Structure 1
Amino acid sequence: MNIVFIHPGFPGQFRFLAEMFGKDKRNKTIFITSVNKNKDRQIPGVRKIIFSEKMPGRKTGAPSPPTSPGLSVANILAGLKKQNYIPNLIIGTSGSGTCLYVKDVFPDTPFLCFFEWFHNQDNLPDNLNSTAEPDLKVRMKLRNRNLPVLADLYACDHGICPSGWQKSQFPKEFHSKLSVVHNGIDIGLFQPGKDQKFKTGNLDLSGVGQLVTYTANVLAPYKGFQQFMESLPAVLEQKPDVHVVIVGADHVVIKDKSGNKASYKSLILEKVKLDPDRVHFMDELIHEEYKRLLQASAVHICLDSPLVVSKFLLCAMSCECLVIAPDIAPVKEVITDGANGIIADFSSPDKIAEKIVACLDYPSFMTAVRQKARQTIAETYAIEKNLPLQLDIIKKLIHQGKPLKQFG
């Protein structure tokens, strides 16, 4: 078969699918992606084609139109068509506009699209403290963000959402096109480690008493970073043997009171004074190091956005971490308070600290909660459970060659 994947951040959530199709030498598998930090990464049997997000002929520094990624991908697809490469299936991700013209180039090829998020203006907390309704400019901005998503919803033959909560945010008119199937967690990689201690080339915490961990892709307001940081002084005072590891990129830049630009992390650290010998920051970790960190964690704090449940939380649960997460709808789709994790009120630093200290005080009581967390991932979110569901949809799309009714 001829299979085309489209994702700007290779391999994205298509890693397991691409690996599977690449292993079969009868397939001609192509992955269209943009230049990113994984530009040198390859998947055996998969041909990677890089598209440019800049329009040819535009002056350096001139902003590209929002349709640029879609046009670049369309040009690649048109080139493949001229070479008599006709896909049996195109699999893409929505949101960035890369799939905008897929059906114009290959109108008869089934198009399966993965949908992460639709900006529902009636249910949009910008961060964990926000209860105010978005103002007009914000609502207009979000409508613009939805335009490529709506185009993909209309054009695709079928779509996949990772969770029921995410699907519920999309317009009901398109729900019959959307199946709920998670991307899958590698529970073979992310598994418990007995008496694991954390040590990297630059940091040795193998001798500390207890380890509190916090992970996010970026240290940002909507990740609950400020609330967590403000809770730490009380935790460190009450638990003198505790160390904290915070993993997240320091990319967010905002203006301070004087109007000067500064990193969000630096502004928070100006307000919250912490012992640098006990609070450790790391930009990112490779998979093996990240797994060891989770295995060594006594309490893992996951304050991801109130929009989706991140892979960070699910990987932590797969490692039998004791996860403390906020009381929000997407989290409650995964965690039952006191059964497979702890749901907490993150409206104040004192309440966060209280939960963390309580969990640290009774580690043996939390053993059953940790084990249930792992069980939840194995039964519902493991790649072994979800990849066959994705393949079932793919097979029906290819064989029927027409839109599917809802599956799952």
Structure 2
Amino acid sequence: MRILFVHTNFPGQFGAFGAWLARQGDDVCFATAAQATPPRGCRMMLFEAAEDGAPETHRHARGLDRALRNAESFAATAVKAKAAGIDPQVVVAHSGWGAGTYAKAVWPGAAFVPYLEWWYRHPRPDIHPDDPPPGDETALRARAAARNAPMLVDLAQADMAFCPAEFQAAQFPDWIRARLTVAPDGVDAAGLKPDPAARAQLAEHGVPDDAEVVSYATRGMEPYRGFPEFMRALALAQKARPKLHAVIAGRDRVAYGAALPAGESWKARMLAELDLDESRLHFTGLLAPAPYAALLQGTDAHVYLTVPFVLSWSFLEAMSAGAPLIANDAAPIREALGASDGALLVDHYDPQALAAAIVATLEDRAGARARGLRARQRILAAYDRAWIWPARAAALRRLAERA
């Protein structure tokens, strides 16, 4: 199979899967706007990402304007790549940013597979109480409808369309949902598995040997992923458990949701608001894969919170590692857990309930570990890339044979 993956950011959802395809003997190329090195056995073509939509463009069309500028930039690079001999049978493109939208204009015979993550609508399911007031309802409905335009352009050309979760697919209108193939990205369950010896590595973050470790891992410290609620619960749990140490991985920034005024952060706000023993707080920044895995494997209680939105890979990775999990009772989390009782579920906005769940987990470590192992069994059954990737590859090869 000759296959091209398109994403403004590399590796995104495609890097590891594409590298695996190359190891199976497929001809794999990546197109990206990120400065990156291709995996062994793969090729890469670079295009320039577009800036925000032009200010003279209608405010609701600026997203589409930027997407089409990305499409144009990608196409200019793709035409040169085609002249150099790159001729994919299948193009898989992350949809919404426009980068792969003109793939069929360059390679009309190729099968086109957009990867769709989120359908915007109003009212939004991913509301948080700390969000700014919503504003004019009519304008919000209009803006939500317009934000979906880049995906609609991709869907009009699609031979197949992937969506990574049932909850995300359910956000789309029924007529689009019927065209979506729900296919999880896949977790490296063989590489990320329980390892009690990893506990020793937590000393690198300043964690004492006799500590009760509570972990939290996120791209950004923000309300979307429950950072304020976690910190409020942590302040309560610290008072109940004098040996409790929290290891918090991630950047002090907002990745999803409304940005704060310049110079402010949710980390700074929480440290100012709460009576915390900061000597028992360990902020690590973003972690490389090995220490990140050790955190999930060595923790005594891992907390994950989210508004109803795209589920973080970190939750599935914590399940794979067998971490004792505490999470909020939200649809994407319930989907990931399935029928298993692999996590204690609490109300996202009840710090006292979350603190009580943390304390209960620390008091019954054997029961918590058993719960974590049940979560891992769910990963093996529903999210293990050892069988998900071959199934996805087979579907793409069927498209390639028809191209």
Q: Would you say 1:23 and 2:23 are equivalent positions?
A: yes
Structure 2 match to 1:109:
110
Structure 1 match to 2:10:
10
Structure 2 match to 1:352:
354
Residues 336 and 369 of structure 1: is their aligned pair in 2 closer, same or farther, counting only changes over 3 Å? Answer: farther
Instruction: Show CA shifts across 1:230-260 (max 9, x none).
Output: 111110000111100111111238446xxx6
SS at match of 1:334: helix
Instruction: Show CA shifts across 1:162-211 (max 9, x none).
Output: 11111111121122321111110001221101253253685232513210
Structure 1 match to 2:216:
214
Is the 8 Å Cα contact of residues 335 and 342 (structure 1) preserved in structure 2?
no
With normalisation by structure 2, the TM-score equals 0.89
Write the distance in 2 (CA, Å) between the matches of 1:267 and 1:90: 44
Write the distance in 2 (CA, Å) between the matches of 1:195 and 1:28: 39
Matched letter for residue 239 of structure 1? R
Instruction: Show CA shifts across 1:296-320 (max 9, x none).
Output: 1111001134212211000001111
Residues 336 and 354 of structure 1: is their aligned pair in 2 closer, same or farther, counting only changes over 3 Å? Answer: farther
Structure 2 match to 1:99:
100
Q: How many residue pairs align between the two structures? A: 388
Is the 8 Å Cα contact of residues 3 and 89 (structure 2) preserved in structure 1?
yes
Matched letter for residue 328 of structure 2? P
Is the 8 Å Cα contact of residues 8 and 99 (structure 2) preserved in structure 1?
yes
Instruction: Show CA shifts across 1:335-384 (max 9, x none).
Output: 25872111111222111111111111111222321111111101110101
Deviation at 1:139, TM superposition (A): 3.5
Deviation at 1:123, TM superposition (A): 4.4
SS at match of 1:333: helix
Is the 8 Å Cα contact of residues 336 and 343 (structure 1) preserved in structure 2?
no
Matched letter for residue 121 of structure 1? H
Residues 41 and 283 of structure 1: is their aligned pair in 2 closer, same or farther, counting only changes over 3 Å? Answer: farther
Instruction: Show CA shifts across 1:140-182 (max 9, x none).
Output: 4433332212222222110111111111111211223211111
Write the distance in 2 (CA, Å) between the matches of 1:122 and 1:20: 40
Deviation at 1:127, TM superposition (A): 2.3
Is the 8 Å Cα contact of residues 342 and 372 (structure 2) preserved in structure 1?
yes
Structure 2 match to 1:251:
253
Structure 2 match to 1:406:
none
SS at match of 2:234: helix
Identify the match of residue 394 of structure 1 among 393, 396, 402: 396
Write the distance in 1 (CA, Å) between the matches of 2:204 and 2:211: 19
Structure 1 match to 2:141:
139
Matched letter for residue 325 of structure 2? V
Matched letter for residue 119 of structure 1? Y
Which one has a larger percent helix, Structure 1 or Structure 2?
Answer: 2
With normalisation by structure 1, the TM-score equals 0.88
Is the 8 Å Cα contact of residues 338 and 378 (structure 2) preserved in structure 1?
no
Q: Would you say 1:240 and 2:239 are equivalent positions?
A: no
Structure 1 match to 2:44:
48
Is the 8 Å Cα contact of residues 164 and 180 (structure 1) preserved in structure 2?
yes
> Superposition RMSD on alpha carbons, in Å?
2.6
Summarize the alignment of residues 5-404 of structure 1 with structure 2, pairs less than 5 Å apart: 5-23=5-23, 27-35=26-34, 39-54=35-50, 65-66=65-66, 67-127=68-128, 135-136=136-137, 137-199=139-201, 203-252=205-254, 254-255=259-260, 261-335=263-337, 339-401=341-403
Write the distance in 1 (CA, Å) between the matches of 2:23 and 2:184: 22
Q: Which range is displaced more, 135-144 or 83-92?
A: 135-144
Matched letter for residue 174 of structure 1? I
Is the 8 Å Cα contact of residues 199 and 206 (structure 1) preserved in structure 2?
no
Write the distance in 2 (CA, Å) between the matches of 1:129 and 1:144: 25
Matched letter for residue 49 of structure 1? M
Deviation at 1:75, TM superposition (A): 1.0
Structure 2 match to 1:405:
none
SS at match of 1:214: strand
Write the distance in 1 (CA, Å) between the matches of 2:392 and 2:18: 12
Is the 8 Å Cα contact of residues 115 and 161 (structure 2) preserved in structure 1?
yes
Structure 1 match to 2:59:
none
Residues 219 and 131 of structure 1: is their aligned pair in 2 closer, same or farther, counting only changes over 3 Å? Answer: closer
Structure 1 residue runs of 5 or longer lacking an equivalent are: 402-408
Residues 234 and 85 of structure 1: is their aligned pair in 2 closer, same or farther, counting only changes over 3 Å? Answer: closer
Matched letter for residue 6 of structure 1? V
Residues 47 and 276 of structure 1: is their aligned pair in 2 closer, same or farther, counting only changes over 3 Å? Answer: same
Structure 2 residue runs of 5 or longer lacking an equivalent are: 55-61
Instruction: Show CA shifts across 1:6-27 (max 9, x none).
Output: 01221211133311332356x5
